[in-house]
Amino acid sequence: MKAFNLESYLSNGVEVIIKGILKAAAKNPRTALFMMQYAKTSGRARKLRIDAEGKGEHIPPFLIASITNQCNLHCKGCYARANHSCVDGAAPDGMLTADEWKKIFEQAAELGCGFILLAGGEPLVRQDVLEAAATQKELLFPVFTNGTMLNDKYLKLFSDNPNLIPILSIEGNEAVTDERRGQGIYHQLQQVMTELKKRGILFGASVTVHKNNMAEVLSDEFRGNLSEHSCKAVIYVEYVPISKETEELAMDDEARDWMGEELNRLRMKTDEMIYISFPGDEKTSGGCLAAGRGFFHINVYGGAEPCPFSPYSDTSLKDVSLKKALNSPLFLKLRTSGTLMQEHKGGCVLFEQEKQVKEMAGEA
């Protein structure tokens, strides 16, 4: 079996993803038409990245943007709440405005990025930012949401703007999902998926995977439920332990190898759904893709961070352009020091190298 390569999957104009989405959207002419148009745009973006590479400049194919640190849920084991990057109540001062985010999106398109993952907190708290993203038709915006705020207003926004793709967070069956996210959340997600299917809105699912649930979330029953609702992409995000007490839940090499083999089998078996494991698939790319190697993270205040699980920054997008942030001192140190290539037990390499990253960022 040919080995799956995440770098090719992401870096080469995301053609594989687009082809998969085109097949997935074949029954929705409007979405299929948009994806055909986006495929042309993606080709131009890929050329921009190739041209930049020829000049010694590396442009990542995607970015992760946390557009808010507000959230309406209190999920057990939430990394964002554990590191105090998620809050209740009113928005804190200093968060990027919708106009500031729009400028970042525009710069990303000009550089040749293909898509931007919108995260939080709960991103649907920021309707203004989602509306700004909707205007950038040359970019895809997977929106990682808990699904509880997907009302008629938002369903119309997603329906009218196929470049916004809701990615629903689900943990497995009803008992497992409700135990982590709250009573009734699983049932609410089932209703949301039914409505998304009814309206022909392309959507995916995000699953936090660990040793205790990996067999279930890769089972035919779980995936079958998603498929019946016309879910077209599943992103398996490996659990990052928030304390020593939960380290045993993190994926080790044996567990990750098993999951990788299973995902490869699924990718060969069907083109009905797209499967990505993060950061597990990074091993096929010779190391971590953070710090601008394949992506980087922008926090709610504009700080350029290596990734969401390594929340340290020495550069703000309030002060510099996106292009300049890509070559921040911290990112350059991480890319040249060999830190991104180190072995790790689970979660992510930078999470395990917290002390070194803080020193590089001048926060030690």
What CATH number should be reported for the domain holding residue 350? 3.20.20.70
What is the extent of the structural domain holding 81? 6-360
298 located within any domain:
yes
For 313-357, write each residue's pLDDT tens digit: 999 999 999 999 999 999 998 888 877 767 655 556 776 677 788
For 111-169, write each residue's pLDDT tens digit: 999 899 999 899 999 999 999 999 999 999 999 999 999 999 999 999 999 999 999 99
More confident residue, 272 or 199: 199
The verdict on whether omega for the bond into residue 121 sits within 30 degrees of 0, i.e. cis, is yes
User: Is residue 12's pLDDT more than 50?
Assistant: no
Prediction pTM value: 0.89
Annotate 192-213 with b (16+ C-beta within 10 A) or e (fewer): bbeebeeeebbbbbbbbbbeeb
For 211-223, write each residue's pLDDT tens digit: 888 999 999 899 9
Edge-first strand listing for the sheet containing 304-305 = 274-278, 233-238, 204-209, 164-169, 141-145, 115-119, 62-66, 297-298, 304-305
Band of residue 9 on the pLDDT scale cut at 50, 70, 90: very low
Share of the chain above pLDDT 90, in %: 44
94 by Cβ neighbours in 10 Å (0-12 / 13-18 / 19+) ranks as exposed
Average pLDDT of 290-299?
89
What per-residue confidence (pLDDT) applies to 344? 55
127 located within any domain:
yes
131 located within any domain:
yes
Q: Is the dihedral of CA 177, 66, 23, 215 positive or negative?
A: negative
Long-range contacts of 324-333, Cβ-Cβ distance < 8 Å, separation of 24 or more: 325/296, 326/58, 326/59, 326/60, 326/292, 326/296, 327/292, 328/304, 329/360, 330/291, 330/304, 330/306, 330/357, 330/360, 330/361, 331/291, 331/292, 331/296, 331/304, 331/306, 333/360
1 located within any domain:
no
268 located within any domain:
yes
273 located within any domain:
yes
Average pLDDT of 8-25?
56
The verdict on whether omega for the bond into residue 279 sits within 30 degrees of 0, i.e. cis, is yes
Nearest one of 93, 260, 87, 234 to 168, comparing CA atoms: 234
Band of residue 21 on the pLDDT scale cut at 50, 70, 90: low
255 located within any domain:
yes
More confident residue, 274 or 270: 274
More confident residue, 178 or 277: 178
80 located within any domain:
yes
What per-residue confidence (pLDDT) applies to 4? 44
For 52-99, write each residue's pLDDT tens digit: 999 999 899 899 999 999 988 888 777 677 777 777 777 778 999 999
Count of the separate structural domains present in the chain: 1
